[in-house]
Amino acid sequence: MAGSLLIASFILTIFLPVAVSDDRTALLTFLTGLTIPSGRELHGWNSLINICNWTGVSCHSAPPPHRVMQLDLSDRGLCGTISPALANLSSLQVLDLSGNLLSGHIPPELCSLSNLRQLSLSSNLLSGAIPSQFGFLNRLLYLDLGGNRLSGEIPITLFCNSTLTAKSLQYIDLSNNSLSGEIPLFRGNEVCELDISLRFLLLWSNNLSGEIPPSLANYSRLEWIDFESNYLNNALPLHVFDKMPSLQFLYLSYNNFSATNVGPFFTSLSNCSQLQELELSGNGLNGELPASIGNLSVNLRHLHLQQNHFAGSIHPKISNLVNLTYLNLSNNALNGSIPLEIGGLRRLERFYLSNNKLTGEIPLSFGKISRLGLLDISGNELSGWIPDSFASLPQLRRLLLNGNRLSGQIPPSLGKCINLEMLDLSYNQLTGNIPAEVAGLQSLKLYLNLSTNMLQGNLPSEITKMDMVLALDLSQNNLSGVIPPQIGRCLALEYLNLSMNSFHGQLPSSVGSMPSLKVLDLSSNKLSGGMPESLQSSSALRQLNLSFNNFSGVIPENGVFSLLKGSSFMGNAGLCGGHLDGIIKPCETERARRRRNIWKIVLFVVGTLCIFLLFFFGLSMVRSSDGRGRCRLPSFRRRVLADVDADEEFNFNHCGDYYPRLSYRQLLEATGGFTDTSLIGSGHFGRVYKGTLSGGAKVAVKVLDPKPGTAAVSESFKRECEVLRRTRHRNLIRIVTACSQPDFKALVLPLMPNGSLERWLYPGDQARRRPELSLEVMLKVASDVAEGMAYLHHYSPVKVVHCDLKPSNVLLDGDMTALVADFGIARLVHLGAAGGDIVGDVASLATCISTTGLLHGSVGYIAPEYGLGDHPSTQGDVYSFGVLLLEIITGKRPTNVVFHEGLTIHEWVKRHFPGNIESILMQHEPSPLNSPSPAAQHDPFDCKKHKRDVILELVNLGLACTQYSPSMRPNMIDVALKLTILKQDISSVPRFARDC
């Protein structure tokens, strides 16, 4: 097609003026580099009609006629590259190719379009640098290159006059790219001739660093400044924005600005009388909110100050901002009470105060903010009753009061909030019944959460009026009575949690008939009867937990029941079903029941005779124990996964006959009586002792302490035995043998000469880390751990979620090979019917809770989704590994005081990365980025740069693994591969350079 069009173009040159022919040729050449999706064809471009009638083409009506004035092909799904031939459209004023899939570089030839007034190439896949020649387009008014993959520095010519002809550029959008360097308002030490026509400057979501240039103050006509999501640092400027009387929008959020007193900055903004929106969230701002906050523009509508370190009380002067519609002060350290003057913000629509340290009662003045649609004051320390004044808010749609210390009853007046879509009162100390007025709120469309309070009484029948609500959580209360059958009228309900209450009676079949229900948790109640057929007939139900009730009968095998494990039904003595991994007893046939009754009679008779004989012959026939019984390896005949042989017994003696079965006395002698001198570690479930067997072998004996609870310890012991028995990898600890008695349980492991990784990272009173833990060793240890975790997640015969990966659970052998250890709270997984992982104990719908009732893992290493109720997952292990990797690099525990100030280790590292990488490296040794050794200084290999590149890669990997969203994290196969490549990269470096 392109060839025929070029031939047609050649024919038309006979009849058309030369300039018009050039325009046609330029457009057809541009077309040859494009791929046009089906159904989006460009009308006229494949014909000989006048080019002014082609799709997206407009021509001049005045002389010169038929010259292309505008080319607009935005949002047409075009692929390909931008042809330099477009530079031949010499009369072009508007070029808009935005919203396509164009790739490659921006042709510098476009800079010859001297008549161009608007250039928009946004939302494509363009890469490379911005041509500096764009600064010579003196008629250009509008430049939009946002939403691409552009890199390099911003050309200074965009901001400064380089010719005697004045420029008129008013709009610059370079946002959402990968541009780096500083905002270019300087040339050396000299301020360039500024183009003061600029009104809109959008640079958000790049990699820009440095400070906001003071010369920005010369752009006095600026109305919109957006520098959000960069790496700009230093203090907030005091004499820049006060020179901009027309400024309306100022976005500086998510940078690295710091200030201990924001009062002068707010004062400087008081001159911006047109300011409508101010965003400073996600920076390092601290100190108190000053009185000068009330001097901001009376026109201010949006104020974002969340995710900083503001402390002290909320200054009452904030009520001067009478036109505010959005106020966000969440995730700070504000304390004191909420000022009554807050009721003066009559136009406020959304108000966020969550995750602070506010105390006192909820002020009644909230009832005066008649336009309030969202109020979030969750995660504070508020007390007292919920005020009735909320009933005066006709626009209230979302009310979040969870995570406080509120007491008293739920006010029935909340039922007057007829537009309420979301109500969360969970994790308080509320008492009394659930008011019928609240249970009957038909406006609720998202969720009603009253969990973890002290509510009592029956479930109101009015709750069936909530036919649009998606989630209902009433768990962990004292509710009783029967579950009303009318609950099936909640047709939109997807999540229903009534666990940990005292509901009794049968489960109504209408529950299983709810068409949208996906998750149902009725555990820890007093429900009885059989399983309604409607449950197995449900096409939507995916998760079900009926454990710890009084259900009886046969567990079905179809529908959702085919996806569940026995833990979903445990604690129901009357249930049976042989397909549920041995936790639930199999159902007996009538023949087996008769046989069992006969055996009961036989055993009773035989037992009676034996007792009679023993009594007749006396106690001399009874053999007493000599106290020297030997520990037997535990034989667990219960199937843990569907593919495990139920009759298979443990055999831990991997070394043939070298290590015989060990008695308690032998372990006692090997460890010197389990004395403190042989103690090498301790944890929640017990202690670890070093010992020497009679043959001279060095071992570590992990003795489980029964004090925390026999059931918990037994479960941990069985789980660790199960994992160690079924996994074999060079980066996983192996087991020598196990010793199990009713009052003594121990695992015997090889003794690791170099102890745990924690011992090397934090060697106690030593001023520095051990010199052997160089960058090369750090890489080796991290790679070993990743290899072990990748095996557990993806290659092991029984997939394993570790749940507690941290430095103390990483052991180092004699050559510093890292081995992952301690599987006491691990979870075994297998592939579900839908292709996803199902975790042992997970199908119970319980949150990520260990046998001791705590979140799985250790504080600082626990994935954030576990705190929201998600189940153990391989993504959670990836998060823990990321924390471990950042900890190795920084030498800071995730629970360090710096993180107690409100930052996770991910956030703390990200604040300093990549611009200030030296500040996050380990403090107790010289920086790996110091100058090379003398030997390396004479070699062309740049040691310092190479080490920096490797550390940057490691930090990037740690940040990727600790992303908040589990779906954004890599899997351990990719992590292990990345570390292997880095390790090979380091090993290929000359030895002297590695030591530099």
pLDDT at 460 over 60: yes
At position 936, the amino acid (one-letter code) is: A
Which own/partner pairs from 863-870 qualify as long-range (CB within 8 Å, at least 24 positions apart)? 863/966, 864/964, 865/966, 870/966
Give the integer Cα–Cα distance in Å for 445 and 463: 13
- The predicted structure's pLDDT at residue 891: 83
Give the integer Cα–Cα distance in Å for 958 and 782: 11
- The predicted structure's pLDDT at residue 926: 39
Residue 502's DSSP bridge partners are 480
Contacts of 878 (CB under 8 A, 6+ apart): 961, 966, 969, 970, 971, 972, 975
Instruction: Determine whether 393 is exposed, middle or buried from the number of CB atoms within 10 Å of its CB (0-12, 13-18, 19+).
Output: buried
DSSP 855: B
764-797 pLDDT, tens digit per residue, is 534 344 445 788 888 999 999 999 999 889 888 7
- The predicted structure's pLDDT at residue 707: 55
Give the integer Cα–Cα distance in Å for 408 and 417: 19
- Greater confidence, 545 or 655? 545
257-294 pLDDT, tens digit per residue, is 988 889 999 999 988 999 999 999 999 899 999 999 99
Contacts of 1 (CB under 8 A, 6+ apart): 46
Indicate yes or no: pTM above 0.75: no
DSSP 849: B
Report the 10 Å Cβ neighbour count for 612: 10
Residues marked as binding?
Answer: 702
Residue linked to tokens 């913000």: 345
Report the 10 Å Cβ neighbour count for 656: 6
How far is C-alpha 398 from the geometric centre of its chain's CA atoms? 24
Contact by Cβ (8 Å): 352, 306: yes
DSSP 484: P
| Rg of the chain, C-alpha, whole Å | 35
Give the integer Cα–Cα distance in Å for 812 and 761: 12
The sign one gets for the Cα dihedral 927, 929, 933, 935 is positive
Lowest mean pLDDT among 300-314, 681-695, 821-835: 821-835
Structure token digits, residue 828: 């075994």
Give the integer Cα–Cα distance in Å for 827 and 874: 10
- Under DSSP, is residue 395 helix (H, G, I), strand (E, B) or coil? coil
- The predicted structure's pLDDT at residue 688: 86
- The predicted structure's pLDDT at residue 873: 87
Residues marked as binding for ATP?
Answer: 702
Structure token digits, residue 311: 């402390």
Contacts of 341 (CB under 8 A, 6+ apart): 316, 318, 319, 365
How far is C-alpha 796 from the geometric centre of its chain's CA atoms? 26
- The predicted structure's pLDDT at residue 642: 26
Strand residue runs (E) in 63-155: 68-72, 79-81, 94-96, 101-104, 118-120, 125-128, 142-144, 149-153
Contacts of 723 (CB under 8 A, 6+ apart): 798, 800, 823, 826, 828
- Residue 796 φ/ψ, nearest 5 degrees: -65, 145
Please compute the mean of the pLDDT values over residues 319-324 and round it to a whole number: 94
At position 790, the amino acid (one-letter code) is: A
- Give the closest residue to 496 by CA, choosing from 508, 511, 482, 485: 511
Strand 118-120, strand 34-35: pairing:
unpaired
- Under DSSP, is residue 937 helix (H, G, I), strand (E, B) or coil? helix
715-725 pLDDT, tens digit per residue, is 777 777 777 77
Residue linked to tokens 């997984």: 829
- The predicted structure's pLDDT at residue 467: 84
Instruction: Determine whether 363 is exposed, middle or buried from the number of CB atoms within 10 Å of its CB (0-12, 13-18, 19+).
Output: middle
86-114 pLDDT, tens digit per residue, is 999 999 999 999 999 999 999 999 999 99
Task: Give every strand in the sheet of 827-831, ordered side by side.
Answer: 799-801, 827-831, 837-839
Please compute the mean of the pLDDT values over residues 869-882 and round it to a whole number: 86
- Under DSSP, is residue 415 helix (H, G, I), strand (E, B) or coil? helix
DSSP 446: S
- The predicted structure's pLDDT at residue 53: 87
pLDDT band at 505 (very low <50, low <70, confident <90, very high): very high
Contacts of 984 (CB under 8 A, 6+ apart): none
Tell whether omega for the bond before 387 is within 30 degrees of 0, i.e. cis: no
- The predicted structure's pLDDT at residue 749: 85
Strand 698-704, strand 686-692: pairing:
antiparallel
pLDDT at 9 over 50: no
Contact by Cβ (8 Å): 324, 348: yes
At position 313, the amino acid (one-letter code) is: S
Give the integer Cα–Cα distance in Å for 122 and 149: 10
Give the integer Cα–Cα distance in Å for 992 and 996: 6
3-state percent breakdown (helix, strand, coil) of the chain, nearest 5? 30, 20, 50
Q: Which value, to the nearest 10 degrees, does the dihedral of the CA atoms of residues 99, 105, 110, 111 take?
A: 120
- Give the closest residue to 844 by CA, choosing from 477, 578, 539, 500: 500
Structure token digits, residue 118: 């608007």
- Under DSSP, is residue 615 helix (H, G, I), strand (E, B) or coil? helix
- The predicted structure's pLDDT at residue 958: 92
Residue 800's DSSP bridge partners are 828
- Greater confidence, 993 or 671? 671
- Residue 590 φ/ψ, nearest 5 degrees: -60, -40
- The predicted structure's pLDDT at residue 202: 95
Terminal-to-terminal C-alpha distance of the chain: 62
Write out the catalytic residue numbers. 804
Q: Which helix (H) or strand (E) holds 959?
A: helix 943-961
| % the chain with pLDDT above 70 | 79
Give the integer Cα–Cα distance in Å for 306 and 314: 13
Give the integer Cα–Cα distance in Å for 195 and 218: 9
Lowest mean pLDDT among 91-95, 395-399, 589-593: 589-593
DSSP 767: S
Give the integer Cα–Cα distance in Å for 911 and 296: 28
Cα three-residue angle 686-690-696, rounded to 5 degrees: 145
195-226 pLDDT, tens digit per residue, is 578 999 999 999 999 999 988 888 889 999 99
Instruction: Determine whether 669 is exposed, middle or buried from the number of CB atoms within 10 Å of its CB (0-12, 13-18, 19+).
Output: middle
At position 521, the amino acid (one-letter code) is: D
Structure token digits, residue 633: 């390896």
Contact by Cβ (8 Å): 79, 97: no
Please compute the mean of the pLDDT values over residues 642-660 and round it to a whole number: 33
Give the integer Cα–Cα distance in Å for 899 and 905: 7
